[in-house]
């Protein structure tokens, strides 16, 4: 019995010692490994939070360790914030006695919100470091962020807690009217290229006012934001040709997330909305990443769209409703429903334009045209006075990329024409319809069907066409409609359809 008790006691002590060793963390300084030595947080606007970035920390040793301190070099004053394996520490900036098991790793998540005044005045870089260890013996991982100054435009908040809104019919939307004598920005009806503009809500242009956007301006929209041109208002986008390899002359409209991962994400903001009775001019504009690029309703006069690029919208590149539009040398690529929708009639004339839709949907179209809508199963028709497409490309990933839908009441005009266009339409059932008699209908002439245009890179929104005898767009344009320069500003010397003259792809570096 005495021997049994002795053996039991020894075994118990051995087990206890063994168990306790599993939870003993050795104080450890140095020897950590990191997934990177410097974390570059992509460009952010002043006082707008960044995306979250990741750093992985490795304990390569055979021992369980305790790191005395993990902290930001600027301590509680740092404009960076970190979490360490889900822990927030002291205000997301200082952590003590952080434990790691042998051969284990942990994640550190990093964010920042900083003012440009806190950045280096010559480089506009805001920097700090994550320090691991203890004073006098730290391992450091550098943090670097470029802070970009901007002009911020947003609705006022009133003393009663409400915010400024804009009237749309019988409703109100979150927005504000621009001010020609704002105490901070001066005349808000002129956007220059001195600083980017960041818009929250809808920036309104009332009757009698024109928003002029100068060459090289950059306009960024927060989620659910945009520009709203009211009845009698106007927008004039005065972009110019850019230096080769740059976009210095372009006016660019996009979301306010500057990280590269957001560069082609659709639906980041609302629309540039031209309401009934408004008008506009767009020259050398790039409009990307919204819900609708241009939403044009029953406009006054003609909206001109020249030398523009409209990319990656969750619904439409251009949604026109009883509108009057003339477009030249314009490229629209990738939209959830249609790159161009000419609806509820109207008047449209497009020359040397490229409409392509490779959005991942079985129902998307490059071009959709109709002259009615349906209310309680009753058609409401409108006059389609013209929908002319000359020397254009209408293409995409679906078998049918051009659709026509006419109201049953033939007393309403439905005038359309396609001349010397490359069109993807590969559906024998639809082709039997009256609107798609390509060989006998005089509304079609000189067109080529279902031949690949040989775009350079549709996923990168590069819709130049390659010099390739198999390209369906080369040499098919009607010289009578030739626009002397293409979207790049190059003189057209060959009769190619689309916004670009065919050219060789640049060699890869």
Q: Is the pLDDT of residue 21 over 60?
A: no
Residues 109 and 212 both lie in one domain:
no
What is the C-alpha separation between 274 and 296, in angstroms, rounded?
A: 5
Strands 372-375 and 417-419: unpaired
- The residue from 148, 174, 193 where one domain ends is 148
**Number of domains forming the structure of the chain:** 2
- Given this model, what pLDDT does residue 508 score? 61
Which candidate, 247, 196, 223, 185, places its Cα nearest to that of 45?
196
What number of other Cβ atoms are within 10 A of residue 201's Cβ? 23
13 versus 456: which is more confidently predicted?
456
C-alpha separations of 488 from 79, 354, 455 in Å: 42, 13, 15
Strands (E), 4-124: 26-27, 33-34, 38-45, 53-58, 65-72, 80-84, 94-100, 105-112
- Given this model, what pLDDT does residue 261 score? 87
Domain annotation covers residue 120: yes
- Given this model, what pLDDT does residue 24 score? 79
The tens digit of pLDDT for each residue in 442-455 reads 999 999 999 999 99
Whether the CB-CB separation of 287 and 305 falls below 8 Å is answered with: no
- The residue from 120, 148, 176 where one domain ends is 148
- Given this model, what pLDDT does residue 23 score? 58
- Given this model, what pLDDT does residue 245 score? 78
Ranked by mean pLDDT, the top range of 60-64, 270-274, 467-471 is 270-274
Which residues span the domain enclosing 298?
Answer: 151-481
Residues 365 and 409 both lie in one domain:
yes
Strands 33-34 and 125-134: unpaired
* Region 105-122 average pLDDT: 94
Residues 190 and 307 both lie in one domain:
yes
C-alpha separations of 140 from 35, 71, 72, 129, 154 in Å: 12, 10, 9, 6, 40
Residues 176 and 118 both lie in one domain:
no
What is the C-alpha separation between 395 and 399, in angstroms, rounded?
A: 9
Domain annotation covers residue 20: no
> Which two structure tokens, joined as six digits, stand for 182?
């704002």
Domain annotation covers residue 245: yes
Whether the CB-CB separation of 253 and 288 falls below 8 Å is answered with: yes
- Given this model, what pLDDT does residue 434 score? 85
Q: Is the pLDDT of residue 71 over 50?
A: yes
Residues 333 and 374 both lie in one domain:
yes
The tens digit of pLDDT for each residue in 80-107 reads 999 999 999 999 999 999 999 999 999 9
Residues 219 and 331 both lie in one domain:
yes
Residues 274 and 128 both lie in one domain:
no
- Given this model, what pLDDT does residue 12 score? 46
The tens digit of pLDDT for each residue in 121-169 reads 888 999 999 999 999 899 999 999 999 999 999 998 888 888 999 999 8
439 versus 9: which is more confidently predicted?
439
Provide the whole-model pTM. Answer: 0.88
* Region 352-375 average pLDDT: 94
Q: What is the CATH number of the domain that holds 109?
A: 2.60.40.10
Domain annotation covers residue 383: yes
Residues 372 and 397 both lie in one domain:
yes
Whether the CB-CB separation of 116 and 149 falls below 8 Å is answered with: yes
Whether the CB-CB separation of 296 and 320 falls below 8 Å is answered with: yes
Domain annotation covers residue 503: no
What is the C-alpha separation between 356 and 313, in angstroms, rounded?
A: 12
Residues 321 and 425 both lie in one domain:
yes
What is the C-alpha separation between 336 and 308, in angstroms, rounded?
A: 19
Residues 122 and 258 both lie in one domain:
no
Q: Is the pLDDT of residue 262 over 60?
A: yes
The tens digit of pLDDT for each residue in 477-492 reads 999 999 999 999 999 9
Q: Is the pLDDT of residue 300 over 50?
A: yes
Domain annotation covers residue 10: no
Task: Round to the nearest angstrom and report the end-to-end CA distance of the chain.
Answer: 84
- Given this model, what pLDDT does residue 428 score? 73
Range from 11-15, 58-62, 223-227, 282-286 carrying the lowest mean pLDDT: 11-15
Domain annotation covers residue 509: no
C-alpha separations of 148 from 119, 219, 246 in Å: 10, 13, 19
Residues 130 and 196 both lie in one domain:
no
Q: Is the pLDDT of residue 373 over 60?
A: yes
Domain annotation covers residue 73: yes
Which candidate, 146, 190, 118, 150, places its Cα nearest to that of 50?
146
Residues 88 and 204 both lie in one domain:
no
Average confidence score pLDDT of the chain = 92
Residue 431: pLDDT band with limits 50, 70, 90: low
């Amino acid at each position: 019995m005495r021997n049994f008790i002795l053996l039991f006691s020894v075994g118990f002590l051995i087990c206890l010692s063994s168990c306790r060793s599993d939870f003993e963390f050795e104080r450890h300084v140095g020897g950590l490994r990191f997934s990177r030595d410097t974390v570059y947080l992509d460009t952010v606007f002043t006082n707008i939070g960044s995306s979250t970035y990741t750093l992985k920390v490795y304990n390569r040793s055979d021992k369980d360790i305790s790191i005395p301190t993990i902290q930001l070099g600027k301590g509680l004053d740092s404009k960076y914030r970190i979490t360490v394996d889900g822990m927030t520490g002291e205000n997301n900036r200082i952590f003590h006695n952080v434990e790691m098991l042998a051969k284990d790793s942990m994640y550190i998540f990093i964010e920042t919100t900083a003012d440009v005044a806190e950045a280096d005045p010559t480089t506009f870089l805001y920097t700090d470091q994550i320090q691991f260890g203890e004073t006098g013996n730290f391992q450091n991982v550098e943090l670097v962020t470029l802070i970009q100054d901007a002009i911020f435009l947003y609705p006022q908040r009133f003393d009663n807690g409400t915010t400024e809104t804009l009237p749309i019919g019988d409703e109100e939307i979150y927005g504000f009217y621009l001010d020609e004598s704002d105490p901070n920005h001066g005349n808000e009806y002129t956007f220059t290229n001195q600083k980017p503009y960041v818009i929250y809500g809808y920036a309104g242009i009332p009757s009698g006012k024109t928003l002029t956007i100068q060459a090289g301006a950059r306009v960024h929209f927060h989620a659910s934001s945009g520009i709203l041109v009211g009845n009698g208002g106007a927008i004039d986008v005065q972009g110019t040709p850019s230096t080769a390899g740059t976009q210095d002359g372009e006016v660019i409209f996009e979301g306010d997330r500057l990280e590269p991962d957001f560069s082609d994400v659709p639906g980041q903001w609302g629309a540039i909305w031209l309401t009934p009775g408004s008008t506009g001019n767009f020259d050398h504009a790039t409009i990307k990443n919204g819900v609708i690029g241009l939403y044009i309703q029953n406009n006054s006069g003609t909206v001109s769209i020249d030398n523009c690029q409209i990319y990656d919208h969750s619904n439409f590149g251009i949604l026109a409703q009883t509108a009057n539009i003339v477009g030249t040398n314009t490229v629209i690529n990738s939209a959830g429903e249609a790159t161009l929708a000419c609806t509820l009639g109207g008047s449209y004339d497009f020359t040397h334009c490229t409409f392509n839709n490779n959005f991942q949907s079985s129902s998307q179209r490059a071009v959709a045209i109709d002259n009615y809508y349906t209310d309680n199963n009753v058609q409401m028709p409108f006059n389609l006075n013209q929908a002319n497409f000359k020397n254009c490309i209408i293409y995409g990933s679906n078998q049918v990329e051009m659709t026509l839908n006419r109201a049953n009441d033939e007393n309403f005009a439905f005038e359309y024409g396609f001349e010397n266009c490359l069109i993807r339409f590969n559906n024998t059932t639809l082709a039997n319809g009256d609107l798609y008699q390509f060989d006998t209908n005089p509304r079609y002439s000189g067109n080529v069907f279902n031949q690949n245009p040989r775009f350079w890179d549709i996923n990168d929104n590069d819709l130049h066409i390659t010099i390739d005898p198999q390209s369906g767009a080369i040499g098919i344009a009607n010289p009578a409609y030739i626009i002397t320069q293409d979207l790049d500003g190059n003189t057209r010397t060959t009769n190619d359809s689309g916004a670009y003259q065919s050219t060789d792809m640049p060699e890869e570096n």
